[in-house]
Structure 1
Amino acid sequence: MNIVVIGMGEVGRHLLSVLDKEGHDIIAVDSSAKAVQYAEEHYDVASIVGYGASETLLKIAGVGRSDLVVAVTNHDEMNLIAALASKQLGAKHVVARVQGTAWSEWTDGIRYGLLGVDVVINPRVLVAQELSRIARSYGASDVVDLAQDRVELVQIDLDESRVLNKPLSSLELPPHTLVSAVVRDGELFVPGGADVLVKGDRVYLIGRPEGVLAAERLFSKEREARRVCIVGGGVVGKALARELLQQQATVLMIESDLEVAEEISAEFQGIEVVHGDGTDGALLEEQEVGTYDLFAAVTKQDEINLMAALLAQRSGCKRTATIVQRADYASIYRQLGIDIVLSPRTVASDQILRFSRGGGLHSLTVLEDGQAEVVELTASPKCRAVNKPLHRMNLPRGSLLAAIVHGDDVIIPHGKDVVHPGDRVILMTTKESRATVERLFRPRGE
């Protein structure tokens, strides 16, 4: 594919690293000569220094011949203008990111066709929605909705659990649920029936939402978060509060800006808003954050989020969550004991990368820094995988057909189940098996 990426911030650089490995022809654009130089030195890309929304620059970049243009600068208006102008100049698909307070009222993190732009993504709203799903789970540290909320993927870190030291084949999992992947000592693998779970493993469960929720009771002692404390009244904080109120949770919000705190207090009925510093240990003790089920630090500053979460943890809060702007720091946060670490960069990248894989792909979720992917796609009538039972599909080692959506039915497949043309399928694949799986589901001749 010919791809133009406008904006060399955290998201832009991450996209370059993935797209470069996949062999796409990429042009990187940024107004900063230093940012462009970094891109040239680290990736096999062409580059242009300049204003990304300039019609002249976009023509030089060849957006009219591009399969995909992605605008992810730190300026929302520039992203929208660049995407719209690229579309008018002939780009096949355009994607823009927005994340400022002007977009905080969104109830959906993705808009299609907004202002003539194919896809507009608000990663901060998407992160808030993910946190709300985690809050209503039983101990999950990540929750991803798939197939229009008919399939759920959850991540659980095993501590004390009834499932330890038993072969997976002996576990009495609820119907329509399976263990799709296990991470042990940092390495992800797709398990078989003889594999045994041990303390410290990270497990990915997938299945129908009601089955997954029942399975969580086996894997974790945690329960739904009914009392949640939020630090930060920005886009993420407000979107999260809105979601939690719909779940009828008790919400306390701590905001350092008096004017913002007053605005939130007036806007939201049913939550307690406290003006103060989320890293003030005395304030956290005064508000009894140790009695809350979940503490979520979601300001724009990573240092504040980390410090606030550590203080809440010390106060006895059951679970702590933070957002982190630099996703490569997430593992350090977990080592420090933070239960849930989410990155708007990762969320945005997952949404954008699916457009680089061609037609038919509905969603893409990257797991464990690229060790595996969960892809959701429509099975083409011309692909090799249709009209044959699973046991004859010859899926490679390290891959798993996790779910088939056939009309209104969601099937967690076994050996005799068949993928029909037009079915939506959800696949787990490691990076080693991805190419083979793609060939199975790619239409013949492409």
Structure 2
Amino acid sequence: MRIIIAGAGDVGFHLAKLLAYESHDINIIDMDDDRLQYISSHLDVHTTKGNSTSYKVLEDAQVSKADLLIAVTESETANITTSIIGKHLGAKKTIARVTNTEYIQRKDILDLKEIGIDEVISPESLAAKEIKRLLKENALTDTFDFEKGLLSLVGILIDDESELKDKSLVETAYLNPDHSFITVAILRGEETIIPHGADKFQINDHAYFVCQPDGVDRVLDLAGKQRESIKNVMILGGSKIGIQAARQLSKKYNIKLIEQDREKCFELADMLQNTMIINGDGRDVELLKEEGIDEMDAFIAVTGNSETNMISSLVAKNHKVPKTISLVENMDYIHLSQNIGVDTMINKKLIAASFIFRYIRKGQVLNMTTIHGVDAEILEFEVKEGSKILEAELRNLDFPHSALIGGVIRGGKGITARGNFMFEPKDRVVVLSKPECIRKVEGYFK
């Protein structure tokens, strides 16, 4: 596929990195020489210097031959203009990054395809949805359901309370006698481990499992954690993400939102009828105490300052808040959550890049998600007649070492697949795969 990406910032770079593993023909347009040079030295892609809203620049990038044009610069106006011009010059499909959520909320009225934009994405909207998903379980660092929970991906932190601590996968087999879960990934520092028998769990590891419905409780037991419902949520920051998160979460939880700007608080009070708005500095520990930080089940920090978000989340954790989520701008901070104590750090640009990657793959996989900080994708495939995966038992398939089959949904039931498992047509298979071997994994399901 021939893909042009307008914008060599964090979204463009991470997206290009994901797509480069797939042998796509990628051209990145940007006006910043340093950004383009950095990308050229790290990825096998073409670059074009210039303004993506220029006819000439787009023609030089051969937009007329593009299967997909993705406009993800920092400017919403430039992204919309680039998509419209690119479509006019012959790009088959266009995607534009926007900040105004009305483009997404009013799709029924705004027919953007008519003017040349096939899809719009809002990193802020995607981040708010991600926060809502992460709040499903306060004892888990991450969770994602396949087929309404027939299989679930769950993440836990290995600490002193965990029975898994310092044990290898082989040594923990007796803790999973009914095979209700399988370990699919371990995040240790910045290293993503696709675990096999001899790999050991260590303190401060983030471990990820694919579980049958009863396996989720078993994993929580082994981690020494208890399921508790979330009722009270405190949000720090009246940013676009904070506003959207409050709107979505107030339908289910009691929400308090703290914002430092007094004038903005009045606006928020009008916009968010079901949310308690508090004017104050979220870094003020006394203020947090006065507003009941000790009674909160979750704390979400989404100000425009990453350091403020991390520090305030640590304060919340120090006050025994079970679930903390912190928004960070620097992607390198994502891995810090393991070491400093914040449950989950999210980056809206990383979420946006992953969403676009999933959009491009739509049709090839049934479902796809990412785990924050983990260098791997979770994919769901359907087994077709004649697929390579039908040829032998799982242990004899020579499945890529950098990928792991977590489970299978068959006949309305979730199954964790062991070595002697035989696949059948119409099975829905959940796979964790590092980006570089996704294409090889796909070969087993064609």
Tell me the TM-score range normalised by the shorter chain.
Answer: 0.7 to 0.9
> Is 1:49 equivalent to 2:53 in the alignment?
no
Shift of 1:230: 0.3
Q: Give the 3 Å change call, closer, same or farther, for CA 328–112 of structure 1 in structure 2.
A: farther
| Aligned mates of 1:246, 1:24 — CA distance in 2 | 42
> Is 1:280 equivalent to 2:284 in the alignment?
yes
5 Å matches for 1:354-393? 354=358, 360-367=364-371, 371-381=375-385, 383-386=387-390, 389-393=393-397
TM-score w.r.t. length of structure 2: 0.83
What amino acid is the match of 1:158? I
Q: Give the 3 Å change call, closer, same or farther, for CA 149–129 of structure 1 in structure 2.
A: farther
More deviation, 315-324/431-440:
431-440
Q: Could you say what secondary structure the match of 2:389 adopts?
A: coil
Q: Give the 3 Å change call, closer, same or farther, for CA 143–213 of structure 1 in structure 2.
A: same
Of 188, 191, 205, the residue aligned with 2:209 is 205
More deviation, 89-98/166-175:
166-175
Of 253, 261, 269, the residue aligned with 1:265 is 269
What amino acid is the match of 2:134? I
Shift of 1:253: 0.5
What amino acid is the match of 1:181? A
Shift of 1:138: 3.9
> Residue 8 of structure 2 contacts residue 28 of structure 2 at CA under 8 Å; is this kept in 1?
yes
Pairwise CA RMSD? 3.6
User: Structure 1 regions of 5+ residues with no counterpart?
Assistant: none
Shift of 1:404: 3.2
What does residue 300 of structure 1 align with?
304
How big is each residue's C-alpha offset from its partner over 1:350-383, in whole Å with a ceiling of 9 and x where there is no partner?
A: 1222456685134444557564332233445453
| Aligned mates of 1:308, 1:103 — CA distance in 2 | 32
Percent identity, aligned pairs only?
30
Shift of 1:5: 0.7
Q: Give the 3 Å change call, closer, same or farther, for CA 186–326 of structure 1 in structure 2.
A: closer
Shift of 1:184: 4.4
Shift of 1:237: 1.2
> Is 1:144 equivalent to 2:140 in the alignment?
no
> Is 1:236 equivalent to 2:241 in the alignment?
yes
> Residue 143 of structure 1 contacts residue 152 of structure 1 at CA under 8 Å; is this kept in 2?
yes
> Is 1:289 equivalent to 2:293 in the alignment?
yes
Q: Give the 3 Å change call, closer, same or farther, for CA 156–74 of structure 1 in structure 2.
A: same
> Residue 101 of structure 1 contacts residue 234 of structure 1 at CA under 8 Å; is this kept in 2?
no
> Is 1:72 equivalent to 2:72 in the alignment?
yes
> Residue 345 of structure 2 contacts residue 372 of structure 2 at CA under 8 Å; is this kept in 1?
no
Q: Could you say what secondary structure the match of 1:440 adopts?
A: coil
What amino acid is the match of 1:429? S
What amino acid is the match of 2:289? E
> Residue 346 of structure 2 contacts residue 372 of structure 2 at CA under 8 Å; is this kept in 1?
no
Q: Give the 3 Å change call, closer, same or farther, for CA 198–336 of structure 1 in structure 2.
A: closer
> Residue 138 of structure 2 contacts residue 297 of structure 2 at CA under 8 Å; is this kept in 1?
no
Structure ranking higher on relative contact order (CA contacts 8 Å, 6+ apart) = 2
How big is each residue's C-alpha offset from its partner over 1:387-425, in whole Å with a ceiling of 9 and x where there is no partner?
A: 755455332334322233457554433456554455543
What amino acid is the match of 2:231? R
Q: Give the 3 Å change call, closer, same or farther, for CA 114–232 of structure 1 in structure 2.
A: farther
| Aligned mates of 2:72, 2:181 — CA distance in 1 | 37
| Aligned mates of 1:213, 1:238 — CA distance in 2 | 33
What amino acid is the match of 1:133? R
| Aligned mates of 1:46, 1:196 — CA distance in 2 | 41
Q: Give the 3 Å change call, closer, same or farther, for CA 80–231 of structure 1 in structure 2.
A: same
How big is each residue's C-alpha offset from its partner over 1:207-249, in whole Å with a ceiling of 9 and x where there is no partner?
A: 35675366434424253332211011222212222332233x2
> Is 1:399 equivalent to 2:403 in the alignment?
yes
Size of the aligned set, in residue pairs, is 438
Q: Give the 3 Å change call, closer, same or farther, for CA 297–439 of structure 1 in structure 2.
A: same
| Aligned mates of 2:35, 2:438 — CA distance in 1 | 31
